[in-house]
Chains A and B, each alone.
Chain A
């Protein structure tokens, strides 16, 4: 029983990272109706920026190193994503739907190979947090897990505040409802799109650092699997829907943990996760929290 709860806690930890990354996918999709393939590479870039900062700032006292790493990673990813958007996606606003997808795949290849040229093997991510187990009733949770859970929940809370309680958040929601109407009422749509990319990438970069803290190693192609899971999570919750992405991430993490607990081989857990995804999509194609959209004629 306590084993099961520990598995569920693991699932929740991973799920909260998926949720952070899924937010980037879902917000961009909400506005541009585009699968931002490069997002998983932004996630990877966050991990590498965090690693570089931590290795350079080894002399800093304990909490400051990791705080600096988060600051550099998140700001770096945000600017990277805005740059990508300006160069590779903005010229394609009126192109056929698959063109931005190809552009995103191109960016993804560029980023992966740029990092590959720099460091082409596994790198050990510094273990910043001491390996402490914290008793929690009958079960134990490690300090890293607690940090991951807490920081991703805090980030998601701030995002929720931003989207729902600020003028900029309101503008963002307006853009995702109807871009042309938003433009007509004077919302600077291009700037809102850049801002959306920035926020999504900041969360994705944080997710990258948290993910590396959890697994302890990074590589140039590390973004692919968690990126795909995060995208799955976004669809699961209802793509384009911010609370949906959070819920989808946590649910996917939990489903995976259950899969690990009950299935004979660890690798089957991915089958389990995708199986759930497919079932949900077939039974409820708009996702758990997605709204029914009327077809445009």
Chain B
């Protein structure tokens, strides 16, 4: 039985070691000066979930999405509203994910025919529209003031493995659980018929169509699946933060998630995880290294690092094997296919 599970998941011992370390880490950090780091790691975990979702669209399908955080926002607001209405965490989570997927479906239906940068700009437009609507629909979202879950008696506590989730450490473990879950789902998707169809579409749409792949349907499934990740992450974020405002879901955030996927390595699951960790943790690490005087320099340094990564590792820090092989071929052959 275990061997069978292992065969489908292809768990290797470094992965197990990593998960083991991730479980132990808070025990060392708790009650020390670095306790706040648990929170930052949790945040990195949330971004890992989102980046894994975006990876389906950007990495596998090869489509650029510049408004992905809109679906994170929809997940977060759904969770906040459902919690305020008194529904339990797990049902609200499920509902939030479904709501997010529904919105993604509604948005995707008309726009998925568009190619390349047009798709990017339309997703950007939807992202901004979502934020503006959240900011102005006062009767539902309380506008720019946001929704607070703290003072409401209707909000039910979260139960997870017979524990009540409340502290940063609790949420760290909850998020860790979801990161592992999302990695498994991503890995299974990647190796499925569907995953292969997505990659075929990325490589050459026309050839993929000739092979009998239904382009629009396959793109749509990938598009909607990616939103589920963002919706789940948003829902957890809403309960963790106990507060949602439109300010958390700017265009800039969407750009950062794209950055995570590309810096880590498009289409590579370990790469995307690493990319999310890098983008969240480097500015934080710099905060400690630079000292109080130079704290404001850290984003400048981050920008320089981004440019350097783009120039020296355009395929990402931990690239997908197939993609890096293609890059090498292209360098040798010198032919340019755009």
User: A residues within 8 Å of B by Cβ?
Assistant: 29, 33, 35, 37, 87-88, 91-92, 94-103, 105-114, 116-117, 120, 180, 224, 228, 231-232, 235, 239, 265, 267-268, 270-271, 274-275, 277-278, 281-282, 285, 295-297
Contacts and interface: CB of A to CB of B under 8 A. Distances in A.
Interface stretch (B1-9, B132-140, B154-162): B132-140
Contact of A114 (B122, B300, B306): B300
A102 B262 contact: yes
Given A106-B304, A271-B132, A278 B126 contact: yes
Contacts of A112: 299
Contact of B111 (A267, A271, A278): A278
Given A35-B117, A109-B299, 17 more contacts: A29-B117, A33-B338, A87-B307, A92-B311, A95-B314, A102-B262, A105-B259, A109-B300, A110-B303, A113-B300, A117-B300, A180-B336, A228-B128, A228-B251, A278-B122, A278-B126, A281-B122
Contact of A297 (B206, B300, B315, B330): B206
A249 B30 CA distance: 54
A96 B328 CA distance: 11
Contacts of B94: none
B114 A282 contact: yes
Interface size class of B (residues with CB under 8 A): 35 or more
Contacts of A296: 337-338
A285 B217 CA distance: 20
Contacts of B300: 109-110, 113-114, 117
Nearest to A221: B252
A273 to B, nearest CB: 9
19 contacts: A35-B117, A91-B311, A92-B314, A95-B310, A96-B315, A98-B58, A99-B314, A101-B64, A108-B303, A110-B303, A111-B303, A117-B296, A117-B297, A274-B125, A274-B126, A281-B114, A282-B110, A285-B113, A296-B338
Nearest to B299: A113
Contact of B118 (A37, A95, A285): A285
Contact of B302 (A94, A109, A235, A239): A109
Contacts of B133: 271
Contact of A106 (B111, B115, B122, B307): B307
Contacts of B135: 267
User: At the interface, is chain A mostly helix, strand, loop or mixed?
Assistant: helix
Given A88-B311, A105-B259, A235 B118 contact: yes
A96 B314 contact: yes
B338 A109 contact: no
Nearest to B64: A98
Contacts of B305: 106
Contacts of A117: 296-297, 300
Contacts of A98: 58, 64, 258, 262, 266
Contacts of A180: 336
Nearest to B133: A271
Please indicate which of the listed interface residues B306, B309, B330, B337 has the most CB atoms of chain A within 10 Å of its own CB.
B306
Interface in B101-144: 110-111, 113-115, 117-118, 120-122, 124-126, 128-129, 132-133, 135-136
Please indicate which of the listed interface residues B64, B110, B117, B120 has the most CB atoms of chain A within 10 Å of its own CB.
B117
B182 interface: no
Contacts of A239: 117
Contacts of A265: 136
Please indicate which of the listed interface residues B58, B251, B300, B338 has the most CB atoms of chain A within 10 Å of its own CB.
B300
A99 B310 CA distance: 5
